[in-house]
Amino acid sequence: MNWKLLKATMLGASTMLSTHAAIAQEAAAGADEGRAIYLDQMTVTTTRNPLPAFDAPGMVTVIDRDEIQRVQPSTPDDVLKFVPGVEFTGGPRRTGESPSIRGFSGADVVVLLDGARQNFGSAHDGRFFIDPELLRSIEVLRGSASSLYGSGGTGGVMEFKTARAGDFLEPGQTHGARVAAGYQDVNSEEFGSLTAYAQSEAGIDLIGNVTYRDSGAIDLGGGGQLTNSDDNVISGMLKAGAEVSEDHYVEASYVSFFNKAEEPNNGQGLGGADAVEKDISSQTFRLGYTYDNPDDKLLNLDITAYYNLAKADELRLDNLGNGPAGELLTRDVETIGFRVDNRSAVTLADNLASLITYGLEYYRDEQTGEAGGVVRDGVPNAEADTFGAFAQAEFTIDHLGPIPGELLLITGARFDYYSIESDVGGGSKTKETAVSPRIALTYKPLPWAMTFASYGDAFRAPTFDELFLTGVHFQIPIGPGITNRFVPNPDLKPQRTETFEFGGGLQFDNVIQSGDRLQAKGSYFYIYGEDFIALDVVQPSPFIDCNPFIPGNCDGTTTSRNIAKAELEGFEAEGGYESHRFKAALGYSSITGEDASTGDPIGTLAPDQFTASFGVKIPEIDGFVGWRGIFAAKFDDTDSAAEVRSAYNTHDFYASYAPREGLLSGFRLDFGVDNAFDEEYSRTFTGANEPGRNFKAQVSYRLNF
């Protein structure tokens, strides 16, 4: 990416569409000169402005729709497990999958859907519910992000962006439809999707989609099944956008996910012997407005307002759980919010440009829960309000006097105020403020080399459940019965981190043949944390620590507490090579974390891990064949023997055929096999093996006019 082009973008055409157009023009102009013709992957999540992912002062991965399609994903985990520093725990059931970034999970990771926060939180029901069929791209920002995103920016940000009509249309086409069907045998999943879309010269963009998935028992690596794992999913999207007048664009969307599942109350790991019928749903309504006038240097506006309702209703089908058959358990989380961003471009000198981004954000979360019509244990009725104000300045400097090269300097801060209250114990309320500064820079001494450094403060507010949990956590049927009870802790402090990160990258064009590209980037990070929030489960062992036949003698407690000081550090690297014939990528991640006072491991840690892929393009028939693998080392960074994991490696093979011309134009066939050698393995903090060998195929047809 030419930084002069980036500077021009900052001084006017700052939308992603105009940036992509500029890059495409540059690529076309350079094709005859032997330069690489591949579009740079652009990130918006990193700075709220378009920036080549390679030039960002940090580690960010952008996955486009074509890569998503090649994976034939059933859940987001299928795509994101190849991203360095990202791990999913909770086991193979889609309702239990929970993501982590650099050892942070749950509320420590900001999840966005087209800019709308997905704040659902549950101990055993996963974190968010999105069908990958709807997506045009995914951005994963690793590291401190609170200076722009507030609470939850300790681990990073996952932003999912849904498709538009333009993603399916070629130049000169105005409308069309796409139908797709598929099957995977590891869980007998049937898949079907229908998408219709239209785009007019008047600037109107319309798209609608409905997707269906039906699956059953999951075959596990090395043998065995998760038999109580039935899913019936219907998801969909309606989106309409219009250029109401020159420089003004409005958009409205509705994205839904409904899953009727039959599985244990705890859907993670193997689960228990009990069975429940779960109705899992997520509905997101969004309104957006953009003002983008290239001649207006001071006003470049984005406004997003949204409402999300996430529900997890569970009907007990037997008496094997902690309640009677027929009991209905509910958990509803409503989020309403808005965000306003503006950009002002300023030219300070011939070689110095600045883009100032500033704005406001507000969101409100409200949780309610019931069990048999009364307040549900472990799901406190509570509400939280968060208000944030932020500002960020990006400076691009060309020609640093006698020092060669170009510099991108980013500095910013965000102020947050939050209040959380519940009616637990007659009423309790906590409120705090936080200031989250950040400074980062990228220096390019040569066109093909870059180095970066960053420092960022981040925080994460305690959740409803961490503050106000009450009631029974679990029971053990020995003697008169053993009960572990939740104990609320309304005095929890917000979790704070300071992250230092250093790294660099290399990018070469025309390495082996004209038009190819080789790129690599890596970093080291150190995170110092205060008041880390940990869940303590204290449960005496029957017949060892206590006498279970004495009522109450073996009872235990579960409560959240702050850990005074914690430290995490690690390495990440990713790189790739692409030519007209080949495409390859490598990734690596390593992380350790400990309680600075005791030395005990802390965080959602994972083993050292390599990822690799290699593909061959077959333009003669518009085909592609490839392989990808994950190579994980033995994991023993734990003080629990049950959490030790053996080393493992998995291998996937895949192919696609998508004719561009002729009678089969619009047709696409994808097929492959995941975990081809049926590796038996389990991820950390997951009490079940991952899926075994999985043959899958998908066919689609797109008809445009």
Give tens-digit pLDDT for 512-529. 999 999 999 999 999 999
The two structure tokens encoding residue 70: 């090649």
The two structure tokens encoding residue 372: 């048999």
Q: What are the angstrom distances between the C-alpha of 618 and each of 475, 615, 625, 692, 702?
A: 59, 10, 8, 29, 21
Residues (pLDDT < 50) of the chain are 1-36
Length of the chain: 705
Element (H, E) at 80: helix 76-80
Q: Helix %, strand %, coil % for the chain, to 5?
A: 10, 55, 35
Residue 673 · residue 689 · CB < 8 Å? no
Residue 80 · residue 73 · CB < 8 Å? no
Strand pairing partners for 525? 501, 570
Cα(88)–Cα(684) distance, rounded to whole angstroms? 9
Cα(256)–Cα(280) distance, rounded to whole angstroms? 11
Cα(116)–Cα(128) distance, rounded to whole angstroms? 12
Residue among 213, 216, 320, 321 at smallest CA distance from 262: 216
8-38 in b/e burial notation, b at 16+ Cβ within 10 A? bbbbbbbbeebbeebbeebbeeeeeeebbbb
- The contacts of residue 389 (CB under 8 Å, 6+ apart) are 359, 360, 361, 414, 415
What is the per-residue pLDDT for 38? 63
Cα(406)–Cα(535) distance, rounded to whole angstroms? 47
Residue 704: how many CB atoms within 10 A of its CB? 16
SS3 678: coil
pTM for the model stands at 0.93
Cα(576)–Cα(83) distance, rounded to whole angstroms? 13
Cα(421)–Cα(383) distance, rounded to whole angstroms? 6
Residues 446-462 pLDDT 10s: 989 999 999 999 999 99
Q: Phi first, then psi: give them for residue 343, nearest 5 degrees.
A: -125, 135
Alpha helices (H) in 271-357, listed in sequence order: none
